[in-house]
Structure formats: structure tokens, C-alpha cells
Structure 1
Amino acid sequence: MATKQNGPIVENATEARQAEPGPSILALLAISIGLAVLILGVVWFVFFRT
């Protein structure tokens, strides 16, 4: 548990690493997947279209 010692808050390593992923993580994931699908679509269209 986080404790306050002479002003600063002291946490152990596990508590310090527990962060909530914000909306920027979701946006990054969505953009990355979208770009991957777009690139694979272009590759398919150029090389495998019959």
C-alpha cells in the first residue's frame, strides 16, 4: 500500500507499475491494425489479383 513519508508518496515496484491504459493506447492499436489491413490489401491487389 502506498504510504507517505515526509512528503513524497512511497510505493513498492508492483504498485508503481500499475497504470491504466488511456485512450491513446486504443487509438494506437486501431490505427496500427487499420494500416496493416490497408497495406495487406494493397499487396494483395498488386500481386495476387487475377
Structure 2
Amino acid sequence: MARRDHDQIVETAREARGAEPGPSVLALLTVSTSLAVLILGGVWFVFFRT
């Protein structure tokens, strides 16, 4: 647990690294990458198909 030392919060290295990206970060990256692929595919289809 974090403690105060002269108006500063003191944490161990393990406590400071405690926040890990959860599944919401993975979902955001997956959705945004998929959307980018769809948009680029649409641009290619409209402008570069022969």
C-alpha cells in the first residue's frame, strides 16, 4: 500500500507498475485496426481497381 513520506507518495516498484492494460485496450486496438483496414480497402476499391 502506498504511504506518505513528507507530503510525497512512496510506492514500491511493483505498486507503481500495478496498472495493466485490460481487455478494453485489446478491444479498442482490434476495432480501430479493423476499421482502418476497411477504410483503406474502400479507398483502394474506389481509386485503384482496374
TM more than 0.5: yes
Unaligned runs of 5+ in 1: none
* Aligned-pair Cα RMSD in Å: 2.6
**What is the CA-CA distance between 1:35 and the residue it aligns to?**
0.3
Paired positions, count: 45
Q: Which runs of 4+ in 1 moved over 3 A?
A: 2-5
Gaps of 5+ in 2: none
User: Where does residue 38 of structure 1 map in the other structure?
Assistant: 38
Q: TM-score by structure 1 length?
A: 0.68
TM-score normalised to the size of structure 2? 0.68
Distance 1:30 1:43 in 2: 20
Alignment match, 2:29:
29
User: What displacement does 1:4 show?
Assistant: 4.8
